[in-house]
Structure 1
Amino acid sequence: MTREEKSIAIGDLTAQLAGANIVYLADISGLNADTTSNLRRACFKAGIKLEVVKNTLLAKAMEASDKEFGELPSTLKGNTSIMIADIANAPAKIIKEFRKKGEKPVLKGAFINDEIYIGDNLLESLASLKSKEEVIGEIIGLLQSPAQRIISALLNNAETKGEAAE
């Protein structure tokens, strides 16, 4: 790879990082072609961009980025794949699903909305994160619940008064 090609690759990675709030780093080395293909397919269906990257180029892109990746560059050893998503728990769920059949992919770390997570031991926690839509749905449900109780009580009260008048 020439210097110019490296520079272009770093620029592309920097642009991808700038536009992403959810970035997972994983080791998918050792997966056979069929499993790798299935992983790529699962990522595509979930709206996750999966790309195998060179550690040095990704480290330089992280350094050039406006975002603070903390200790994440220290995980760039061995083979690294970057997973960029819109839903915080989607990559973790896919990794967890594939781990039912083998030891890989291994989570190296994640950058989620300016928070840094390092280590495969956090996979369960990341998979259980709620998406923005799930949190909004819960809040709406909580807000509707008291209003529904009041309306129900008022209707019951009106019905009992109506029966008493007869």
Structure 2
Amino acid sequence: MDRAEKKVAVTALNDVFTTTSVVVVAHYSGLTVAQMQNLRKRMRDAGAKVQVAKNRLVKIALEGTSSASITGLMTGPTLIAYSDDPVAAPKVAVAFAKEFDKLVILGGAMGQTALTPDSVKSLATMPSLDELRAKLVGLLVAPATKIAQLSTAPAAKLARVFAAYAEKDKEAA
């Protein structure tokens, strides 16, 4: 890789660190090519990306960004996983690490907050943005549904009372 290519790579990585909401750093030593392709596919399906870059270039790209706290994690064969959704990359990384023990999560960053491996795992258990939006819409729609149920309930109760009296009269006759 010549100097111009390194500059382009550092610029691209700097853009990643300034625009994404979460970055996860992990060791991938021992993973096969097929497993790495599987990880990339899972990340892509979740709206996240995985990138393997030289640690030295990553450290240069991290300078002056809010994710600079992960500089110390960049030793050995590392990869970075990142996404705009703060839950997507950690969720896929943690699930993949459970399945393949060769992927070891070292930590990460969410904005200026440094993440430990445990905090990445706890972030992975949170619902995604889409799930939160669905819950919010459900909460907004729920009161209207309850009002509709309450307005029809008295009529239904009245009909059951009349039916019970009619049944009682049939038995008495």
TM-score (norm 1): 0.79
Residue identity opposite 1:142 in structure 2? L
Residue 156 to residue 28, structure 1, CA distance change in 2 (3 Å): same
RMSD across aligned positions (CA):
2.6
Report deviation, 1:131: 1.4
- Hey, what does 2:121 align to over in structure 1? 124
Which position in structure 2 is the counterpart of 1:90?
88
Is residue 152 from structure 1 mapped to residue 137 from structure 2 by the alignment? no
Separation in structure 2 between the aligned mates of residue 134 and residue 144 of structure 1, nearest angstrom: 15
* Residue pair 1:52, 1:81 contacting (<8 A) in 2 also: yes
Q: Structure 2: how far apart are the matches of 1:86 and 1:119?
A: 19
CA distance in 2, matches of 1:30, 1:154: 63
- Mark the runs of 5 or more structure 2 residues left unpaired by the alignment: 162-173
Which whole-Å CA distance do the structure 2 matches of 1:93 and 1:154 have between them? Answer: 43
Contact 2:17/2:67, CA 8 A, preserved across alignment: no
Instruction: Check if 1:14 corresponds to 2:14.
Output: yes
The answer to whether the 8 A contact 2:53-2:79 is kept is yes
What is the CA–CA distance in structure 2 between the aligned matches of 1:121 and 1:77, rounded to whole Å? 19
Structure with larger Rg: 2
For the residues of structure 2 that align with 1:7 and 1:155, how far apart are their CA atoms? 68
Aligned to 1:5: 5
User: What fraction of aligned residue pairs are identical, expressed as a percent?
Assistant: 29
1:39-97 CA-partner distances (Å, limit 9, x unpaired): 223223333221101122112212144xx125222211212211122333222232233
- Three-state SS of the structure 2 residue aligned to 1:18 is helix
| Alignment match, 1:105 | 103
TM-score, normalised on structure 2?
0.76
SS across alignment from 1:53? coil
Q: Which residue identity does 1:134 align to in structure 2?
A: E
| SS of 1:100 mapped into structure 2 | helix
- 8 Å CA contact 1:75–1:108 kept in 2: the answer is yes
- Judged with a 3 Å threshold, the aligned counterparts in structure 2 of structure 1 residues 133 and 104 are, in CA distance, closer, same or farther, namely same
Aligned positions, number: 161
Residues 1:137 and 2:134 are matched in the alignment: yes
